[in-house]
Structure 1
Amino acid sequence: MRTWILTAGLAATIALASPGWTQETKAALDTADVDLFYRLYDETGGRPSAEQLQARYIDAGSPGQRVFFEARRTTVARLAEAVATRPEIYQKARACASTLPKVKGRVDTALARFRTLYPQARVPSVTVAVGRGKPIAIGSPVTGVQVGLEALCAADFIDPDAEGRFVGVLLHEYAHAQQNPLLTEKKKPTVLEAALVEGGAEFVTELLIGRPAYVYFGPLTKGREREIETAFAADVDKTDLSAWFYNSTPEKPADLGYWAGYRIAKAYYAKASDKQAALRDILAVSDAHAFLAASGWTPGMTLE
C-alpha cells in the first residue's frame, strides 16, 4: 500500500533513514521497534501515556519507524488514544508476531524467485513497528518498507490466514520498492497512475506466490468485471482517489483500484512475448496512458 504524501519533514527524515538496500535475496525484518513498544506496554499495564510513548518509543525508535509515522501523520496523541481505546488489537498483535519466523522463510523463497525473474531487484530491510491501527504497510523505492504490526495482524479481511497475509503484503511492498519513483512519489497521482502502482505490486505478488496479496478481490469482483472496469475507465484521469483507493474497512472491503490496476498489468504481461522485459516495464512504468494502451486491456476482458 502506498502513501502519496512527501512532506518537507518526511523528506528530511528520509536523509537519515536508509532503507538498507542490499543485493541479498533474503528478507531482513527489523522488529526492534516492536520490542520497545511492548516493553513500555508491559511496564505501564497497557496504558502508556503520550509522554511515555514519545520518550521511550518514538524518540528511542528507528529511523524507519519515524518515516512510517510521519508518512501518515501519526502523532503521539493519536497513538496513545489508540492504545487506550483499542486494547484488543495490541494484544492480538503480540500473539500474531509469533508467525514472523515462518513468514520470513516463505518470503525468502519468494524473493529468490523474484531475483530470477527480475535480476536487478533490491531488497530493503523491513521496519516492523507498532502504530495506531493504520496504515497497514507502505513501500517505496525511496524509503523502503515499513509495516504496522497491529494493523496487519487485525486486517483479517485481506486474507483470513495471518501467515499468508503477512507474506502477501510484504511481497506487495517489496514490489513497490522496485517501482519508478516518478509515480510512487507523485503528490497527486491520477486514478490510473495509482492503479498501475498498486495493481503492478499485486501482479508481482501473484507471479511470486501464485496469488495477489489482497485475496478478497476475487470473490468481490466475480461476475462484476465489466461493470467495475467500465466505471474505472471513466475515472482514470481523476486525481480524487477516494472512490478507488484506501477506502476499505473490515466490514466493507473495497480498494478496487488495486484490482483494476492488477488486471491491466496482467493483460500487459500476457500479451508480451518477452516476459522478463514485460516485468521490467510493469515496474518501471512512467507514462500511464501509454502503458494502458500497450496492455490491450478493455473493461471486462477475460484473463487467465
Structure 2
Amino acid sequence: MASVICRWIAGGLAIALLATAAQAETRARAPIVRTDDVTRFFAVMDASGGRPDALLLQRRYLEPGSDALHQFSELRIGSMQRLADAIQQKPALYVKARTCAAALPGIRSGVARALRNLGEIVPSARFPPVTLLVGRGTTGGVTTPDGVVIGLETLCNADWMQADVTERFVHLIAHEYVHVQQHGAAVEVPAPTLLYQTLLEGGAEYVGELISGQPANSHLRRWAAGRECALEREFVAQRDSTDLSRWLYNGPGDDTRRGDLGYWVGQRIARAYVNRADDRQKAIAELLDVRPETAEALFSASGWTPACVPDSTGAR
C-alpha cells in the first residue's frame, strides 16, 4: 500500500511539475503590455493644467520613458516641442484620449487573451512587447521586429472603427501583432504590387479576427455589403499595379468609398486560401510568410474570385 501511495504521490508531483512548466512557458511566451508611458503622460498633463511645455515633457515624459517611446519620439513625434505644440493646437484630442486611458485594464486583458490564441494558432509566434503611449495624433500603430507601438490618442479618435473603445484597441493590436509574425512586414519592398501588399494586410486581418473575434477594420465588411462584385472586379483588374492609393493607407474615406478597402479584399482572399487547404495550420503559416515572389501563386492557390464570378467549381 505504501508503494502505491508513493507512486500516486510521485505521479501527482510529476503532473504538477509538468503543469507548472507549461504555465511558466505560457508566461514566458505571453507579451508584456506596457502602459506606463500613458500614465506618465497624463500625470504631466495634470501637473501643468493641460498645457505642458517642451521642457516638462522632455524631463517627465520622455526621459524616464520606455525604449519604445524614445524610438517613437525620434521617428514619429519629432521633438517634445512638436508634442507641446500639438497639445496646444488640438486640446480636444488629448481630452478624448484620457477616456481611452481609463479603458486600459480591459484592453490589457483582451490583448492577453488574443495573443494566447495566437500562440495556439501559430506555434512559432514571437511575443515582443506591446507599448501604448501618447504622440502627436499622427500614428495609430507601428509594428517592428521589436514589438508593437500604439498611439493611444490617434486610435482613440478613430471612431469609424469599432464604437467600443476596448474592442477597437484589442482588435487593432491583434492585427498589428500578426504583422510581427510576417516576414514581409519587416522588409521594405520598393514599389510593392497591390496584390502583395493586400495579402500582407489581409493576412493580418484574417488571423487577427481568428485570435480576437473581429478584424481591425470590421466596418469595411458592413460598408461593402452589396458592393462586393464591383469592388472585387476592380481589385482584380488593378492587382498588379504599384499604385496603392485607392486601396490602402488612404484614411477612413467616406460613404461614397471607404478607405483601406484592400484590408477587406485581402481578408477574403486569405480566408479562401486557408479554407481550401488540407492543413489549416500550415496554410496560415504560408499566408503569413507571403513574399513578393510568392504572392501571385498564393492568390491562384486560394481559388478566390470576385463574388459575382464563378470559381473553378462553378460556384459563385
Show the counterpart of 2:155: 152
2:119 to 104, 115, 119: 115
One-letter amino acid of the structure 2 residue matched with residue 100 of structure 1: L
Show the counterpart of 1:246: 249
Show the counterpart of 2:264: 259
Indicate the structure whose relative CO is greater, using CA pairs within 8 Å and at least 6 residues apart.
1
Q: Which runs of 5+ in 1 are unaligned?
A: 1-21
Instruction: Give matches, 1:1-304, under 5 Å.
Output: 24-72=28-76, 74-140=78-144, 142-181=145-184, 184-249=187-252, 253-286=258-291, 287-300=294-307
Residue 65 of structure 1: SS of its match in structure 2?
helix
TM-score, normalised to structure 1's length?
0.84
Q: Which runs of 5+ in 2 are unaligned?
A: 1-25, 310-314
Q: Which moved more, 1:115-124 or 1:205-214?
A: 205-214
The Cα shift of 1:55 comes to 4.3
8 A Cα contact 1:168 1:212, kept in partner: yes
Q: Which moved more, 1:60-69 or 1:80-89?
A: 60-69
Deviations 1:231-276 (CA, angstroms, capped at 9, x unpaired)? 2222223333222112223866411111111111111011111101
Change (3 A) 1:61 1:185: farther
One-letter amino acid of the structure 2 residue matched with residue 169 of structure 1: L
The Cα shift of 1:85 comes to 1.8
Change (3 A) 1:239 1:277: same
The Cα shift of 1:204 comes to 0.3
Deviations 1:259-299 (CA, angstroms, capped at 9, x unpaired)? 11111111101111110101101111112112111111212
- Percent identity over the alignment? 43
8 A Cα contact 1:268 1:296, kept in partner: yes
TM-score, normalised to structure 2's length?
0.81
Residue 28 of structure 2: SS of its match in structure 1?
coil
Change (3 A) 1:133 1:73: closer
Residue 150 of structure 2: SS of its match in structure 1?
strand
The Cα shift of 1:178 comes to 0.5
One-letter amino acid of the structure 1 residue matched with residue 278 of structure 2: S
8 A Cα contact 1:248 1:255, kept in partner: yes
Deviations 1:72-104 (CA, angstroms, capped at 9, x unpaired)? 464444422321122122112122122221222
One-letter amino acid of the structure 1 residue matched with residue 301 of structure 2: A
Q: Which moved more, 1:61-70 or 1:88-97?
A: 61-70
One-letter amino acid of the structure 1 residue matched with residue 208 of structure 2: T
8 A Cα contact 2:51 2:87, kept in partner: yes
Change (3 A) 1:128 1:187: farther
The Cα shift of 1:25 comes to 4.4
Change (3 A) 1:37 1:209: closer
Matched residues, number: 282
One-letter amino acid of the structure 2 residue matched with residue 146 of structure 1: V
The Cα shift of 1:150 comes to 0.8
Aligned Cα RMSD in Å?
2.5
Residue 299 of structure 1: SS of its match in structure 2?
coil
Show the counterpart of 1:16: none
8 A Cα contact 1:34 1:129, kept in partner: yes
8 A Cα contact 1:128 1:147, kept in partner: yes
The Cα shift of 1:110 comes to 2.2
Change (3 A) 1:133 1:228: same
Residue 146 of structure 1: SS of its match in structure 2?
strand
